[in-house]
């Protein structure tokens, strides 16, 4: 089985993430969306909310599994038998950052990182932009899956 791990904080999941995951399921037998837990980071949404947003967004996709984890991503990959890490790239800065992490991961474990370029229509979207729009009472719904609707 070709299992890929798609790690992130997903605070919240965006249409950019959604696009990468939808395309990832065409490449792998299973895509495990892994929400990393970092006790030192301040999140807008609770871990339970973030997990529910993703589970609802992919409720009809049997090849997607949603989990949470702590520690090193490569250790978690080994724990669940994932041979690949799936990452999305929006711009050259993302590439440089992700390349360094991919090299470090390959040094620590037999793990291959697969990069997908974001689609042109979602390449500008980031979770931090969405959080800023939400904080300022803007219309964030254009940037997130339907499951991320706050009352």
| Whole-number Å distance between alpha carbons of 21 and 31 | 7
User: Terminus-to-terminus CA distance in the chain, angstroms?
Assistant: 40
Structure tokens at 53: 């947003």
Q: Would the annotation count 122 as a binding residue? A: yes
Q: Would the annotation count 101 as a binding residue? A: no
Q: Would the annotation count 61 as a binding residue? A: no
Please tell me what DSSP assigns to residue 140.
G
Residues identified as active-site: 17, 41, 90, 127
Q: Would the annotation count 87 as a binding residue? A: yes
Structure tokens at 80: 């669940």
Q: Would the annotation count 23 as a binding residue? A: no
Name the binding residues: 9-10, 17, 41, 73, 87-90, 98, 122-128
Binding residues for substrate: 9, 41, 73, 87
Binding residues for ATP: 9-10, 17, 88-90, 98, 122-128
């Amino acid at each position: 089985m070709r299992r890929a791990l798609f790690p992130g904080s997903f605070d919240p999941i965006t249409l950019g993430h959604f696009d990468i995951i939808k395309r990832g399921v065409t490449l792998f037998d299973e895509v495990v969306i892994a929400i990393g837990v970092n006790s030192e980071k301040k999140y807008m949404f609770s871990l339970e909310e973030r997990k529910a947003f993703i589970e609802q967004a992919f409720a009809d996709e049997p090849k997607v599994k949603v989990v949470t984890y702590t520690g090193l991503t490569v250790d978690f990959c080994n724990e669940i038998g994932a041979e690949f890490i799936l990452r999305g790239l929006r711009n050259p800065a993302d590439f440089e950052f992700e390349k360094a992490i991919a090299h470090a991961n390959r040094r620590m474990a037999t793990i291959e990182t697969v990069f997908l370029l974001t689609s042109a229509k979602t390449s500008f979207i980031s979770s931090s932009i969405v959080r800023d729009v939400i904080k300022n009472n803007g219309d964030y719904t254009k940037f997130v899956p339907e499951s991320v609707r706050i009352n």
